[in-house]
């Protein structure tokens, strides 16, 4: 057999140092539940039942119970969850949907894909979530819905958003892709608006072995419409009631996710404990003048899908960490209104732009060790001692 080596162009920049540990260690988590996962896969393979079936149904009721709402409808991805939610609410051409430009592309992409108009409003610089005052200013007669994103695992400030939604009769779709298990005033993310949208992408707090998503709601008619839309709008085979799409969650994914779900609270508590440890370390190493740490406003439960710090000299610090083998990420380096697919919408959002230059995500996964966290923070301390 002939193998073709892919040649890489000559490097101009210094080669990045291999990280001393991964940004997200999916291996560590898998090894801790390996036998259960392999059993679930074997059972599903043995059944040869791949489309819907008991695994998907059971996952739906378990997620509904976990989120504390009446219905959960699984689908193929978090992006599809947003798309299906908008479709079920009848959002279409000409409708305006208010959202944040400081998010993953799918949030606004789902709106634009339906011919509706994403109306960006700026974020609150402390929570990185939709600024309710800006939402109020962006309302027009065409506003049909809003999509607050619970970014990094922290719920948006929902009270003013709910007040606006009620007064203006518009729907709230929660983009809770990063926030399974998060809560606001005792209510779980996904149980606050009309629909909650979650993702099972491997890097999310409950990650599958590939793509997957789920929608939550307390509205029986809406749940029925969502269930219909994810299978071509057909209740019975080859009879199409409304125009839908093919967006099912595989039984294999559901089986794997059902193994993981009972561990989610433990993993979330570890993420939260790691966040507390970071706080202690940053304070011990006297970095609080340089580094802004994430906030957890009273009445919220942050689930730290990401632990994001904020620094003025972000790119220099990131380079220093990389050269020391410490992995970091930037969510998100370019706000959506600056990207070619959305730039025609116009607008200036200074807080989103400033955040995109200053945020830096540190490793926070449940299996992260104290030694690793100490290494992260002492490498940051080293940067500030030198500069």
Ligand X SMILES: *Cc1c(COP(=O)(O)O)cnc(C)c1O
155 binds ligand X (CB under 6 A): no
The crossing angle, in degrees rounded to 10, of helices 78-88 and 105-113 is 40
Is the Cβ of residue 107 or residue 183 nearer to ligand X in the bound state? Answer: 107
Q: How far is the CB of 300 from ligand X (least distance, A)?
A: 17
Is the Cβ of residue 66 or residue 102 nearer to ligand X in the bound state? Answer: 102
**From CA 25, how far away is CA 366, in angstroms rounded?**
9
64, 187 contact by CB (below 8 A): no
177 binds ligand X (CB under 6 A): yes
Site for ligand X in 66-95 (CB under 6 A): 77-79
Is the Cβ of residue 104 or residue 282 nearer to ligand X in the bound state? Answer: 104
Among 175, 296, 358, 367, binds ligand X (CB under 6 A): 175
Plot region of 233 (φ>0 → left; ψ -120 to 50 → alpha; else → beta): left
Would you call 289 exposed, middle or buried from its count of C-beta atoms within 10 A (0-12, 13-18, 19+)?
Answer: exposed
**From CA 361, how far away is CA 23, in angstroms rounded?**
9
Is the Cβ of residue 175 or residue 250 nearer to ligand X in the bound state? Answer: 175
- 332: preceding bond cis by omega (within 30 degrees): yes
Is the Cβ of residue 214 or residue 326 nearer to ligand X in the bound state? Answer: 214
Nearest to residue 377, comparing CAs of 364, 365, 359? 364
Q: How far is the CB of 4 from ligand X (least distance, A)?
A: 31
Q: How far is the CB of 77 from ligand X (least distance, A)?
A: 4
Is the Cβ of residue 213 or residue 244 nearer to ligand X in the bound state? Answer: 213
Q: How far is the CB of 174 from ligand X (least distance, A)?
A: 10
Q: If you search the block for the tokens 């779709």, which residue do you land on?
A: 173
Q: How far is the CB of 323 from ligand X (least distance, A)?
A: 28
Report DSSP state, residue 122: P
Mapping DSSP to helix (H, G, I), strand (E, B) and coil, where does residue 240 land?
strand
Q: How far is the CB of 87 from ligand X (least distance, A)?
A: 15
Draw the binding track, 94-133, toward ligand X (x: CB under 6 A; -: no contact): ---------xx-xx--------------------------
Residue 12 CB partners (closer than 8 Å, separation 6+)? none
Q: How far is the CB of 237 from ligand X (least distance, A)?
A: 27
Draw the binding track, 189-218, toward ligand X (x: CB under 6 A; -: no contact): ----------x-x---------x-x-----
Residue 82 CB partners (closer than 8 Å, separation 6+)? 106, 107, 110, 147, 173, 175, 197
Mapping DSSP to helix (H, G, I), strand (E, B) and coil, where does residue 14 land?
coil
Q: Which residues pair with 18 in a beta bridge?
A: none
Q: How far is the CB of 15 from ligand X (least distance, A)?
A: 30
268 binds ligand X (CB under 6 A): no
Q: Which residue is nearest to ligand X (CB)?
A: 78
Interacting residues toward ligand X by CB under 6 A: 77-79, 103-104, 106-107, 149, 175, 177-178, 199, 201, 211, 213
């Amino acid at each position: 057999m002939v193998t073709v080596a892919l040649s890489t162009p000559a490097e101009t920049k210094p080669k990045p140092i291999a990280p001393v540990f991964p940004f997200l260690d999916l291996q560590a988590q898998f090894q801790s539940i390996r036998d259960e996962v392999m059993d679930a896969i074997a059972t599903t393979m043995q059944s040869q039942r791949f489309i819907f079936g008991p695994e998907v149904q059971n996952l739906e009721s378990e997620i509904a119970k976990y989120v504390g709402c009446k219905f959960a409808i699984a689908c193929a991805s978090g992006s599809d969850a947003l798309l299906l939610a908008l479709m079920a609410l009848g959002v279409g051409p000409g409708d305006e949907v208010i959202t944040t430009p400081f998010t993953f592309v799918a949030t606004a992409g789902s709106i634009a894909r339906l011919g509706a108009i994403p109306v960006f409003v700026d974020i609150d610089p402390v929570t990185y979530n939709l600024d309710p005052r800006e939402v109020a200013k962006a309302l027009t007669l065409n506003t049909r819905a809003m999509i607050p994103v619970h970014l990094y695992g922290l719920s948006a400030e929902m009270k003013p958003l709910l007040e606006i939604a009620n007064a203006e009769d518009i729907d709230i779709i929660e983009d809770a892709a990063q926030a399974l298990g998060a809560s606001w005033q005792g209510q779980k993310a996904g149980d606050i608006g009309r629909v909650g949208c979650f993702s099972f992408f491997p890097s999310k707090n409950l990650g599958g072995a590939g793509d997957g998503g789920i929608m939550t709601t307390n509205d029986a008619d809406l749940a029925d419409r969502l269930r219909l839309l994810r299978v071509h709008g057909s209740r019975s085979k080859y009879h199409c009631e409304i125009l839908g799409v093919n967006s099912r969650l595989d039984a294999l994914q559901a089986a794997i996710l059902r193994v993981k779900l009972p561990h989610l609270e433990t993993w979330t508590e570890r993420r939260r404990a790691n966040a507390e440890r970071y706080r202690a370390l940053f304070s011990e190493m006297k970095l609080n003048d340089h580094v802004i740490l994430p906030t957890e406003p009273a009445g919220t439960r942050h689930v730290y899908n990401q632990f994001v710090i904020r620094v003025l000299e972000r790119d220099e610090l990131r380079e220093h960490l990389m050269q020391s083998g410490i992995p970091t990420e930037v969510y998100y380096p370019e706000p959506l209104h600056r990207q070619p697919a959305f730039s025609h919408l116009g607008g200036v959002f200074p807080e989103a732009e400033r955040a995109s230059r200053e945020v830096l995500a540190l490793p926070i996964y449940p299996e992260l060790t104290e030694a690793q966290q100490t290494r992260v923070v002492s490498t940051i301390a080293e940067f500030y001692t030198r500069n």
